[in-house]
Amino acid sequence: MTVGPPGTGNGPAGPLAGLLVADFSRILAGPYATMLMADLGAEVVKVESPGGDDTRTWQPPVRDGVSTYYLGVNRNKRSVALDLKDSDDLAAARELARRADVLVENFKPGGLARFGLDHAAVSATNPGVVYASISGFGSGPGGAALPGYDLIVQAISGLMSLTGDPGGDPYRAGVAVFDVMAGLHATIGVLSALHRRAETGLGQHVEVDLLSSALSGLVNQTSAFVAGGVVPFRMGNSHPSLFPYEPLPCADGELIVTAGNDGQFRRLVGVLGVPELAEDPRFLRNEDRTANREQLRPLLVERLRTRGKQEWFREIIAAGVPCGPINTVDQGIAFAEEVGLDPVVTAGEGTAAVPSIRNPIRFSGSRPTYRLPPPALDEHGAEIRAWLAAPARDEERSA
């Protein structure tokens, strides 16, 4: 097992303790993946250009002058700034790649080859490395040259054609959903390859692209076309296959109400005081309710408008029917606290500590830890360079 740079082993060991991850990625998809691995105990060395990760400059908002975008995906890492055009820095980068269990990069496909840091070059000296490449459109001749930005993929994949009011303008999602999905898919690929390496001793090249993640993540919508020949379209907040499954107005705002099966619908109309609707031939089954949504919606709204959304929320939930108010982000975090999810954690200690959102994975045994705040640019550069310059111990030479 590879031994990481100074600082490895501090605090409780997570399930990925002992793994060294060389993080040559920037922006979101790659850093999110490596942060998840770092939370689980891996030692992550974030390699940045002398100018730093682009997200350091993506502000406002800021905390103590630092971009909160950057802070959100870079905890538990150590930063070293390396200029790959400088021979000494390039030698350090190659040595880091040689010692790493995992290397994650999101350069344009082939972009690291000129530095001898592509998969073929790295695996020649480190056959056990799991080398993960994240791109926008894959490494094939048609996609390799295309820039991989989440918003572009939201447009090209079809997501924006599904988002917004019917007949209105297409909208992007409020977060870079496909960067996050690609980061998750990359993490799954890396862990799968590590499992295989435990049997064979050999690493492999894991490739993830945003467009493939997008088409997979569109699930029922892409399935509608490839399996059913149906091109989905914008329906606002309505669902193509379920009703009710959307916001409905109450006396003081909207409440998301979802009745995913006939039993939930019967309980819903019982709470609303109109149980006879469950026996109406127009609304007996889900397909009936979906086909006749324009007749059913005003009947439900008539009852919901008699009371406030929080009052209805408590009663409908108590009846076993999923529903929820439309919150702002701060209200969403407050609700997670209310239900005992403890969503906010502190990365690091003392004056450098930074509040962050908890890793969503819970274990019955080993657990995520929040050892280090997001690093300043080249914060750990001196110690990492010194470690890389020293001869590797025997256990660092084999994966």
Q: Specify the amino acid at residue 24.
A: F
The reported pLDDT for the residue numbered 398 is 43
On whether residue 74 sits in a domain, the answer given is yes
Q: Which residues contact 288 (CB under 8 A, 6 or more apart)?
A: 281, 282
On whether residue 261 sits in a domain, the answer given is yes
CA–CA distance from 96 to each of 27, 89, 117, 298, 336 (Å)?
Answer: 21, 11, 10, 63, 39
On whether residue 311 sits in a domain, the answer given is yes
On whether residue 240 sits in a domain, the answer given is no
Same domain for 88 and 69? yes
Same domain for 115 and 155? yes
Residues taking part in catalysis: 179
Same domain for 158 and 94? yes
Domain boundary among 338, 355, 370: 338
Same domain for 208 and 349? yes
Q: What is the CATH number of the domain that holds 159?
A: 3.40.50.10540
Domain boundary among 338, 363, 381: 338
Same domain for 328 and 352? no
Q: Per the omega criterion (within 30 degrees of 0), is the bond before 61 cis? A: yes
Same domain for 111 and 194? yes
Q: Under a CB-based contact definition with an 8 Å cutoff, are residues 272 and 261 in contact?
A: no
Tell me the residue range of the domain where 382 lies. Answer: 20-218+345-396
Same domain for 158 and 181? yes
Percentage of the chain lying above the pLDDT 70 cut: 95
The reported pLDDT for the residue numbered 397 is 44
| φ, ψ dihedrals at 119, nearest 5° | -60, -45
Could you tell me the end-to-end alpha-carbon distance of the chain, in angstroms, rounded to an integer? Answer: 5
Domain boundary among 314, 338, 362: 338
The number of folded domains in the chain is 2
Residue 280 has what DSSP assignment? Answer: S
How would you write the pLDDT of the chain (399 residues) with one tens digit per residue? Answer: 344 666 554 556 799 999 999 999 999 999 999 999 999 999 999 999 999 999 999 999 999 999 999 999 999 999 999 999 999 999 999 999 999 999 999 999 999 999 999 999 999 999 999 999 999 999 999 999 998 899 999 999 999 999 999 989 999 999 999 999 999 999 999 999 999 999 999 999 999 999 999 999 999 999 999 999 999 999 999 999 999 999 999 999 999 999 999 999 999 999 999 999 999 999 999 999 999 999 999 999 999 999 999 999 999 999 999 999 999 999 999 999 999 999 999 999 999 999 999 999 999 988 999 999 999 999 999 999 999 999 876 555 443
**CA neighbor of 378 nearest in space, from 82, 58, 87, 106:** 82
pTM assigned to the model: 0.93
Burial 54-93 (b: 16+ CB within 10 A, else e): ebbeeeeeeeeeebbbbbbbbbbbbbbbbebeeeebbebb
The 10s digit of each residue's pLDDT in 174-210 is 999 999 999 999 999 999 999 999 999 999 999 999 9
On whether residue 4 sits in a domain, the answer given is no
CA 77 distance to own-chain centroid:
17
The reported pLDDT for the residue numbered 1 is 37
Same domain for 113 and 162? yes
Q: Is 159 exposed, middle or buried (0-12, 13-18, 19+ CB in 10 A)?
A: buried
Return the structure tokens found at 350. Answer: 């003392």
The reported pLDDT for the residue numbered 6 is 60
How far, in Å, CA of 312 to CA of 255, rounded? 8
Same domain for 166 and 304? no
On whether residue 127 sits in a domain, the answer given is yes
The reported pLDDT for the residue numbered 399 is 39
Same domain for 310 and 354? no
On whether residue 44 sits in a domain, the answer given is yes
On whether residue 65 sits in a domain, the answer given is yes
Q: What is the CATH number of the domain that holds 327?
A: 3.30.1540.10
Same domain for 269 and 359? no
Same domain for 334 and 350? no
